[in-house]
Structure 1
Amino acid sequence: MRMRNKPWAAPELDACDFFVRDPAQYIGKWHSFFQRQQPIHLELGCGKGLFIAGLAPENPQINYMGIDLKDTVLGPAKRYIEQAFQEKNAKPDNVVLIAQDIERILTVMNADDTVERIYINFCNPWPKAKHHKRRLTYPRQLENYRQILTKNGEIHFKTDDDALFDDSLVYFEESGFEILSITYDLHAGGQQGNVLTEHEKMFLEKGIKIKALVARKTDL
């Protein structure tokens, strides 16, 4: 889906205290970016930010990072997050949005930026075989994530795409992750603790089942 240009997004983001345009300056120092030293949870491809907006105000004991590349989605994410915190009469002091190509995540984070949990929600399935290496769950990407995940750190993955999900099960196991839970219909028995994303709402309205798993990093 092609995003409409949003001329307001860049100036709003550049004036935002919880947005970082040049994240490489904080490599190895992300824990000190936040006011409170506490676990970091990272969403890869945060899009318009509904997921983090649903989590961060409710979990002040966790610091959240959202990564995406384009201002056209990060601009709305900034607004959704601000609105969510305003509704709680709180300040967004446990969240940061950064502009970054996820395939180059190790240029802005390293082993000192320990992350306890990574969320991957409805990423591009890249269905053609020649493009599989661009999937966010592909083994070379998982190896990058291993370098910033804590011992026993987890990846929480949701998708609507059957082929991507089945392939990802193999990717995780090949890359030194233990599958802790798996479902082919996340909403079949309710969704306690689940925060909906923009895409998740859309797929549910179309009657598409949501696949999900939790994988834990193990020692290789």
Structure 2
Amino acid sequence: MRLRGRKGIREEIERQQELIILDPRELKGKWSEVFGNAQPIHAELGMGKGRFISEMSLKHPDINFIGIDMYDELIRKSSEKARAAHGKESEQGAIANLRLLLFNIEHIEDAFAEGELERIYLNFSDPWPKKKHARRRLTHRGFVEKYIQILNDKGEIHLKTDSQILFEFSLNSFADMGLRMRNISLHLHAEGIHPDYVMTEYETKFADKGMNIHRCEVVIGSQALEEHLAALKKQQSL
């Protein structure tokens, strides 16, 4: 996949050092220092044009958000979305709880230390439909093992996709690794879209066409699992 960006795009993103980070490897283990607080950190891997991560950071100021993509043009567009979402105070300077990373997700373990993230979002990742490309899917065991390493005791993975192939593959991948899943949906917006729900660009387009959106949450951290099992036990006792 190649994206054709306008001339001078690299210079434009290099001027936004308060928001855009070009070499996150230097900050591994230091993300709380980057944000200047100990709030939970959520990361979207493959953020596209950045609508989801921008709106989430605005909606949840008590959480730090990191959007990651490997294409200059998408980083530029995401920075525009972020500044538009956060208003005039963000037009030139930093956005307190948001950073955008120009980085290849294949090396995600080089950008974050063990237990540094609390949640990972995988929104409409490339499904790589051919079987020979299965290892490139972001829910392949090779990737998930890296996510487990960098997620903390409350760690979770939230997956959304329009691809039935990727969703079935992902459920099997998580199950084969012995991971607990919850809130599995084969048609997320079947009963309409909740007004507080934050959607990606792809999701809006697919939902408008009536296409099925598949979603699930994967419980990774020990504390998250303990809380999940306790909630199940309480529900069964009602």
Q: TM-score range by the shorter chain?
A: over 0.9
Contact 1:137–1:168 (Cα < 8 Å) also in 2: yes
Partner of 1:186: 188
Question: What residue identity is the alignment partner of 2:6?
Answer: K
Partner of 1:31: 32
Deviations 1:22-45 (A, max 9, x none): 111101111111022200001000
Match 1:94 to one of 93, 97, 113 = 97
Q: Distance in 1 between matches of 2:66 and 2:178?
A: 24
3-state SS of 2:217 partner: strand
3-state SS of 1:118 partner: strand
Partner of 2:231: none
Q: Aligned-pair distance for 1:15? A: 1.2
Q: Distance in 2 between matches of 1:157 and 1:136?
A: 10
Scaled by the length of structure 1, what TM-score is found?
A: 0.93
Q: Distance in 2 between matches of 1:68 and 1:133?
A: 19
Match runs of 1:88-167 below 5 Å: 92-111=95-114, 114-167=116-169
Q: Distance in 1 between matches of 2:82 and 2:178?
A: 34
Q: Which of structure 1's runs of 4+ aligned residues deviate more than 4 A?
A: none
Structure 2: runs of 5 or more not aligned: 223-238
Deviations 1:156-212 (A, max 9, x none): 100000011011001112224210110011111233343111111222233211000
Q: Distance in 1 between matches of 2:82 and 2:191?
A: 28
Q: Aligned-pair distance for 1:218? A: 5.2
Q: Aligned-pair distance for 1:5? A: 1.8
Question: What residue identity is the alignment partner of 2:46?
Answer: G
Match 1:205 to one of 201, 205, 208 = 208
Question: What residue identity is the alignment partner of 1:9?
Answer: I
Q: Aligned-pair distance for 1:2? A: 4.8
3-state SS of 2:75 partner: helix
Correspondence 1:171 to 2:173? yes
Contact 1:9–1:74 (Cα < 8 Å) also in 2: no
Structure whose residues are more often helix by fraction = 2
Q: Distance in 2 between matches of 1:6 and 1:27?
A: 31
User: How many residues matched?
Assistant: 217
RMSD: 1.7
3-state SS of 1:147 partner: helix
Q: Distance in 2 between matches of 1:140 and 1:22?
A: 23
Q: Distance in 2 between matches of 1:208 and 1:22?
A: 37
Contact 2:52–2:199 (Cα < 8 Å) also in 1: yes
User: For the structure 1 residues 139 and 64, does the alpha-carbon distance in structure 2 shift closer, same or farther, using more than 3 Å as the test?
Assistant: same
Contact 1:56–1:63 (Cα < 8 Å) also in 2: yes
User: For the structure 1 residues 103 and 29, does the alpha-carbon distance in structure 2 shift closer, same or farther, using more than 3 Å as the test?
Assistant: same
Q: Distance in 1 between matches of 2:11 and 2:179?
A: 40
3-state SS of 1:213 partner: strand
Partner of 1:67: 68
Question: What residue identity is the alignment partner of 1:49?
Answer: G
Scaled by the length of structure 2, what TM-score is found?
A: 0.86
- 188-197 or 129-138: bigger deviation: 188-197
Q: Distance in 2 between matches of 1:86 and 1:181?
A: 34
Deviations 1:16-71 (A, max 9, x none): 11111111110111111102220000100011100011110111100001110011
Q: Distance in 2 between matches of 1:63 and 1:13?
A: 21
Structure 1: runs of 5 or more not aligned: none
The structure that has the greater radius of gyration is 2
User: For the structure 1 residues 26 and 218, does the alpha-carbon distance in structure 2 shift closer, same or farther, using more than 3 Å as the test?
Assistant: closer
- 145-154 or 125-134: bigger deviation: 145-154
Contact 1:118–1:154 (Cα < 8 Å) also in 2: yes
